[in-house]
Structures are given as C-alpha cells and as structure tokens.
Amino acid sequence: MQPYKPTYLPRQIEALNFLNTDSIVEQLLYGGAAGGGKTKFGCMWQIQRRLKYAGTRSLIGRSKLDTLKKTTLNTFFETAEEFGLIANKHYTFNGQSNVIKFFNGSEIVLKDLFAYPSDVNFNSLGSLEITDYFIDECSEVTQKAVSIVHSRCRFKLNEFNLIPKGFLSCNPAKGWLYNEFYIKNNRNELPSHRAFVQALPQDNPFLPVAYIESLRRLPEYDRKRLLEGNWEFDDDSDKLFSTDNLLRMFRNELIEGKKYITADIARFGKDRTIICVWNGLTIIEVIELNRAALDEVVNKIRLMCQQYSILLQDVVCDEDGVGGGVVDFLKCRGFVNGSKPKQPQYQNLKSECYYKLAQYVEENRLTILVNGRKEQIVKELEMIKRHRADVEGKLMVTPKDVIKNREGISPDVADAIMMRMYFELNPSYGQYVVG
C-alpha cells in the first residue's frame, strides 16, 4: 500500500490542527454551507486516525443509520480508495453489525443517533468505548446524544497519550449547535474545549461551477444557508411569530386590566417551572423555579396570588404530568395541551391558543415589561412553528418534545405565555375576548 498524502483545503487545515495537535480542544464543529468538504474531511480524518493508532475504535454517527449508509458511508468508501485502501484486503465492512474493521485491528462503528422515545437515554450505545467520533449532519442529532457519545471516549487514550476528540459537521441551522457553538464563538464565549470552523463552498476550489450555480438557483432561505453560510437567516414560512413583532412587545407601557397567573409546570418535577403574572395583556413578572417540588410550586403560586390579589379562578396551570397535582392542590384551572379546542379547525387546545397568541402579537396587543428575559422569550417563541397538518387537515404547532430534540431547549416560557390565551378563548374568563 502506497502512502497517500491528501491535499487539504485551508479551512480543513485549520480544523485538522484542532483535531490532531491541539491538546485542549475536544470537540470541533465544522459547518457553514454545502460543498465545504465537511463529510469528505471527516472521513479523511477518521481513516488517518485508524491507520495511525492501531487497535483503536471510533464511531461515525448520523440521525438515521439508513441515511448514513446511503451518504456518509459512500463518501468513506471513495475516500478509502483515494488512500489506496482496498476493500476486503485493508479493511472490511460488515453490513449486519455495521462495523468497519482495518487490517491493523482498528475499527469504526456506524451508529443511529436518533432520539427514539423508546430509548431517550441512548441505551443502544450500551457499554461502547471509543477513541474518537465523527457525527455527520449533527444539526439533526440532539445535544444529549452527542454528550453521551462524547462520554464514551476513553478507549486506548492513555496508550497513545490522546484526549477525547469529536468532529461535528452541519449546515447552518437554528438549534443547539447555533446556541452552543456559533453564538458563543461570535461572542468569544466558546469554552476552551470547543472550537468552531466555518466552511463555505467558495473555500473549495474543486467544486464544479455547475454545483455553485445550482446553489444560486435555490429559494432564498436555502441559498442564504447553503451558499452563503448565513446562520442568522430565518425561514418565515412555518414560523408563527416574526422577530420584529416579538421585539416590539418589550416596552414600558401598561394598560391596567384584570390580573391572571399562567404557569407551565415542569413535567415530572424536572427542568423548569415558569410562572407568568399578567396585568391585562401585559406580563409584569416571570418567575422561574428549577427542579422545584410540587409543594414549592403550590406555595409560590399562592404567594403570588396574595401579592397581586389574584383569584384562583384566574390562575391556569399546565395539567400534564406534575401539573395535575398543582391543579388539585390549588383548585385552579387546568390546561390540558391535547384537550379539545374551542374551534374545530385546530388539532388541540394548545395549537388553538398558540394561533390566537400569534394573532395578538401581530396586532401588537401584548406587552412585556420583563426586559431581562427578552432574548430568552424571543428565542423560545421563534421556535414555535406550524406543524404538518394531521390526517384530518387540522392546524397544529410542533410538539414540545420535537422542539426540545431539535433545538436543545424546551420552550417552557413560551408555553406559559401561550396559556394566557386560555382566558381569551373563554368569554366568561377573559376581558379581551375576540371572536
């Protein structure tokens, strides 16, 4: 086998320095646009590592194994051939076990990293121990999945004096990678164990001119992302709320009205409980309780009722999960997300309330005095999108668990704000009812 010296693009050289020589960086995000050589580079790095460190093991993952085998794996085979590796001589691939084995004892395990409801803790990874990993199109994978994969990096590290290394590739997309890598890199807040390299089609001189032209002909949203590498460009087609409309809610104006409390209760007592206090259609206070016990939540809401002279009939709490216990103790109103809507064109009450909220925001009828949460509130409401219509063609919003998997955070504050519309849909409770 003749030694192969690959030609690296400038951005790839930058990435390679982080992956091979840097003694601090453990995780690199390489992303920015289509045609930047992300998948090709990931395969090159993996092959080099397996050849250099005999007997080591890595993971190549993607959201769905089937997609990985149709895309990333084909790039791997092409790259292996360029390295002079001959299938069934220098390496073998077992399509049943999904393992690539090299002649020197190294191996690569191909893994499905989709967040299946039946395996939310990724027990499918079992007791797997790896030296490093490459996750392709990482924006389709949850932050939790990546964290668990990274935690498996301990195989033969001491033997070769290595540290855990993970290579993540993606195209620009709003989600946890945007929050954890792109934004923090721009703000110079990226932790020392992480790095970000932006790759663009213009950085790859080997791309056919026709390919670049095809990117230029894409719809604006896709063109901005895939050709220009624009992480900030938003597709408004499925969004319920425009950024401009959300931003104008934050103002120092108060029209006095009836007071309400809306509360999104942390499911099963985990994560955040959010309590919003309203004066008419103005949010005057937002309280966040982390991992609070049921009695703590109940006592806090009672205290807020006393402080603002709010009747329990003007309090609504998410009744799913632990929230049901809060409703039972307080004797307040319960909000069941999947319950029957008031109007038949909606799939459930939650969807109807979000559409009503979007109407109110567009009409500039909501005000938020809590400017300290401006960025958080805008971000969460921007995550709420129209979902595919169900089999009956009814209007829906994207389910909360889907958003959490996609974005890496749960829209708890957004849900607490949405529940204010419960009173607007009930003429006997709301002061500003619109038919």
pLDDT reading at 358 higher than 60: yes
**Percentage of the chain lying above the pLDDT 90 cut:** 55
Looking at residue 432, what is its pLDDT?
A: 42
Looking at residue 195, what is its pLDDT?
A: 97
Looking at residue 346, what is its pLDDT?
A: 86
Q: Which helix (H) or strand (E) holds 275?
A: strand 272-279
- Mean pLDDT rounded to a whole number for the chain: 87
Average pLDDT over every residue of 197-221: 75
**Where, residue-wise, is CATH 3.30.420.240 in the chain?**
243-424
Is 225 strand, coil or helix? helix
pLDDT reading at 431 higher than 50: no
Q: Which helix (H) or strand (E) holds 368?
A: strand 367-368
Looking at residue 118, what is its pLDDT?
A: 74
Helices (H) and strands (E) in the chain, counts: 17, 14
User: What whole-number distance in Å separates Cα of residue 71 and Cα of residue 285?
Assistant: 49
User: What whole-number distance in Å separates Cα of residue 238 and Cα of residue 382?
Assistant: 10
Those residues whose C-beta lies under 8 Å from the C-beta of residue 130, and which sit 6 or more positions away, are 57, 58, 59, 109, 149, 152, 153, 154, 155
**Where, residue-wise, is CATH 3.40.50.300 in the chain?**
10-226
Q: Indicate the class that CATH gives domain 243-424.
A: alpha beta
Q: Which fold is adopted by the domain 10-226?
A: Rossmann fold (3.40.50)
User: What whole-number distance in Å separates Cα of residue 326 and Cα of residue 135?
Assistant: 41
Nearest to 119 by CA among 110, 111, 108: 111
Q: 403 is written with which tokens?
A: 């958003």
Average pLDDT over every residue of 157-170: 96
What residue spans of 53-110 are helical by DSSP H?
Answer: 65-70, 72-82
* pLDDT range class, residue 434, cuts 50, 70, 90: very low
